[in-house]
Amino acid sequence: MTTTIGIPEASTVAPRVYGQFIDGMMTEPSGDFIDRYAPGTGRLVARYSNGTVADIERAIAAARRAFDEGPWPHLSGMERARALLRVAEAMRDNKEHLARIEAEEVGKPIRMARGDVDGSAGLFEFAAAMAMAMHGDVHTTTLGDDFTALVAREPAGVAGLVTPWNFPLLLLAQKLPFAIGAGCTTVAKPASVTAGTTLEMGRLLNEAGVPAGVYNVVTGGGGTVGRILTESHDVDMISFTGSTEVGRLVIEASKGNLKRVSMELGGKSANIVFDDADLQDAIDGVMFGIYFNTGECCVSGSRLLVQESIADTFLDALVDRVRRLRVGQPLDDDAELGAIVHAEHMGKILEYVDVARQDGFRILTGGDRLTGGIYDGGLFLAPTIIDDVQPTSRVFQEEIFGPVLAVTRFRDTDDAIRLANDVEYGLANSVWTKNIDRALQVARSVRSGTVWVNTTIDGAPQLPGGGIRASGFGREMGQAGFDEFTQLKTIQIRSGKRSPYFKG
């Protein structure tokens, strides 16, 4: 049995073929494959073994054994850090290989894929620093001179890492090095359509000296592999990135052993442009916010809230810039937008554009699939801007996850804050203004885990990211992201002779 994802096309180039990565070894590929056709060309580029119940149970058992009996949780933070640094170096040495896999499988421009590899290596390096600095607390005077208390920080156990298709390597790197840096062992379940770099990381961790069982990967559908991973009593925590809808299912499945869950879910972020902003900076930022990674990004600035007094001028300039964007083949160094990940998702995006037309909103540019020439055989969509979008509409409220910008005009600061908060999500928002009082007022008033001022989709490994409301809970990156994979244990010690409590 074979599952086809993409557009089949005959090719003489042999695809990459993978088994599962379990207990330090790649298994033999099964006869039941998930075939991945590149969204940019329709060429078969990878075949993934469709994971079985036995596969995921073996992976969980390997991780459980490596945590309960293996050396990894008991190594010093320095030793774990050295391994993470070796992995980061190997990632940089293999940058072109990893970037090509990401570009082919996701459809993203290769220059962005290279940036993903560099960013992922940086996350391993930062997590190494966290591993070296991992510590607890000592309390010596809390209840008198004869009382000492230790608050130990320990690894949380076996962590299930569930990642989506839009940033396969980068989102894995927001979890994996923090988990194993803290001393956890892991089972990764990547998206079925973009599993290549997650599997390739098994080889790099092996070469870096990470013991067998610390990192395991099982590919396959969420209904089998994902369900068993989230339900298993041998898994202590789940770190999930994906849609809000699936996130709710993960929470439900995790109830069996009350495992901890960290959820980074959907978003409907706003780019809020005031009339005192640097308009050229804001135009560039709005474009980056929605068209980076072809709009397939959970923190995409998919809503443009622009002040009425500058809206027409701003949109004229924005449309002119957007029409000059280069949509191209993912492996073309000059491409600025790539292909949509698969046909089903393309259909979903175009459905939202149709809804906008039916609602009477204005399509200022784009809105159609690109065909002919380099676009034949692939899934390409013109970058799109929809004006006059009303707050009650689906286009305003729902996550489209593509290169589609919904524009709504606002009167004043209070109106902008109201519109920004008028969705169920709370992942990120951006504010463009040169008025520091206004910037701080809006930043503190919009309900989201991240707020950018005069920038967007920016950050560093030291800074935690995550959402509130329907965008989830928990944090990735930074000290908070490291702490997600740890647990605290309080040890209380009395010295000297005990004073009797009972008189008899």
Active site residue ranges: 264, 298
Instruction: Give 232's Cβ-side CA count (13 Å radius).
Output: 27
Find out whether 280 and 313 touch, Cβ atoms under 8 Å. no
List the structure tokens of 167: 């940033």
Q: What does the alpha-carbon distance between residue 416 and residue 432 come to, in Å, rounded to a whole number?
A: 12
Are residues 178 and 475 in contact, defined by beta-carbon separation less than 8 angstroms? Answer: no
The b-or-e profile of 122-150 (16+ CB within 10 A means b, else e) is bbbbbbbbbbbebeeeeeeeeeeeeebee
Distance CA 21, CA 28 (A): 10
Helix, strand, coil percent values for the chain (each to nearest 5): 40, 20, 40
Sequence-distant (6+) residues with CB within 8 A of 499 are none
Please give the Cα distance from 151 to 138 (Å, whole number).
6
Alpha carbon separation from 412 to 126, 172, 302, 419 (Å, rounded): 41, 40, 20, 11
Residue spans of beta strands (DSSP E) within 166-302: 185-189, 215-217, 237-241, 260-264, 270-273
Phi-psi region of 218 (alpha: psi -120 to 50; beta: other; left: phi over 0): beta
Conformational region of residue 102, where left means phi above 0, alpha means psi within -120 to 50, and beta covers everything else: alpha
- The Cα–Cα gap between 218 and 215 comes to 10
The three-state (H, E, C) secondary structure of 136-199, written as one string: CEEECCCCCCCEEEEEEEEECCEEEEECCCCCHHHHHHCCHHHHHHCCCEEEEECCCCCCHHHH
Q: How does strand 260-264 pair with strand 472-473?
A: antiparallel
| Cα distance between residue 328 and residue 320, in whole Å | 18
